[in-house]
Structure 1
Amino acid sequence: MNQFCLTVRCFSEYETIELAKKVSFLLKSGDIVALDGEIGSGKTFFTRSIIQHSIHKAQEVSVPSPTFTMIQSYSGLVPFGNLIHADLYRLSNPKELEELGLLEGDYKGVVMIEWSKNGIGYLPHFNLIISIEYGEKERERIFHIEGSKSRIEKISF
């Protein structure tokens, strides 16, 4: 697979939401997405934006951070069906992933994993890797989005 990395600077929450919408159109059932960055960099906000954009318009949905529950599940998302939002920040040992049951069986949907580096050695291949950094300005965030060239090229600005 031909990997490609796109770097995008967002200077506001609005721009981050717009980027999340574009990424949501790339997702398909079976995708596993890694999200990494410092505390408070916007991993949960980005995932929340994807979920809220993808949920059926008639539904209101609360999207809490899974930091303490470690896993939150959502169903009925368009176009990929279900989504698991996992946060591995509190994972003390990658072997704990087995106890969580994350990625067991043939999951139909998208799995988005914050702090994915905490599960190295136990997580499968990622379809997209999103790294978020703080920028120089207060609300600026720098997104590095890595995946197949054919997918990443579909994000246009």
Structure 2
Amino acid sequence: MDAITVTSPAETMQLGAKLGKLVQPGDLILLDGDLGAGKTTFTKGLAQSLGIDRNVKSPTFTLVREYHQGRLPLYHMDVYRLEDGGAEDLGLDEYFDGDGVSVVEWSQFISELLPTTYLRIALKRSGDQDDDRTITLQAHGEHYQQLADSLEG
């Protein structure tokens, strides 16, 4: 489990864009990190490389934002508000098993509902500068290991 260091929001978006070129239908990307760590910035880069030109915003209050105009549909989820439960009634597996790529922020709150294969990306503030981040990739499954290797290479 290697770490990638980025020093600006633009670099975080570039890493997301690199992943966006590699994802396939049904892929599940988990983004974990504190508030302001860069989860939505990463997702913006991923969305751009999918060909989605709409503004990608954090879906904190809607739970799921769907973007259908790219190479693949993007299902951007923020499950922070499900800290106290309720996720099992949302039908998230329909997204996970669907034809698009699912990006889930704060995935620890729905850990019991996650499939066995996914790519977890942890973003953490690091260094002396406000924009420095350490991004750690944790692959679960061979396909996701290939994605992680491509991002780290």
Which residue of 26, 38, 44 maps to 1:42?
A: 38
For normalisation by structure 1, the TM-score amounts to 0.84
Paired residues, number: 147
Q: CA deviation at 1:125?
A: 2.3
Asked if the contact 2:19/2:147 (under 8 Å) is kept, the reply is: no
Instruction: Identify the structure with bigger relative contact order (alpha carbons < 8 Å, sequence gap 6+).
Output: 1
Counterparts of residues 43-82 of structure 1 (less than 5 Å): 43-55=39-51, 60-78=53-71, 81-82=72-73
Aligned amino acid, residue 139 of structure 1: D
Asked if the contact 2:78/2:106 (under 8 Å) is kept, the reply is: yes
Q: CA deviation at 1:33?
A: 1.1
Would the alpha carbon gap of residues 6 and 27 (structure 1) be closer, same or farther in structure 2, given more than 3 Å must change? Answer: farther
Asked if the contact 2:20/2:45 (under 8 Å) is kept, the reply is: no
For normalisation by structure 2, the TM-score amounts to 0.86
Counterparts of residues 5-154 of structure 1 (less than 5 Å): 5-55=1-51, 60-78=53-71, 81-94=72-85, 96-104=86-94, 106-136=97-127, 137-147=129-139, 148-154=144-150
Distance (whole Å) between structure 1 residues aligned to residue 73 and residue 118 of structure 2: 16
Asked if the contact 1:35/1:129 (under 8 Å) is kept, the reply is: yes
Q: Which runs of 4+ in 1 moved over 3 A?
A: none
- Identity percentage over the alignment? 32
Distance (whole Å) between structure 2 residues aligned to residue 120 and residue 156 of structure 1: 25
Aligned amino acid, residue 15 of structure 1: E
> Which structure has more strand as a fraction of its residues?
1
> Which structure has more helix as a fraction of its residues?
2
- Cα RMSD, aligned residues only: 1.8
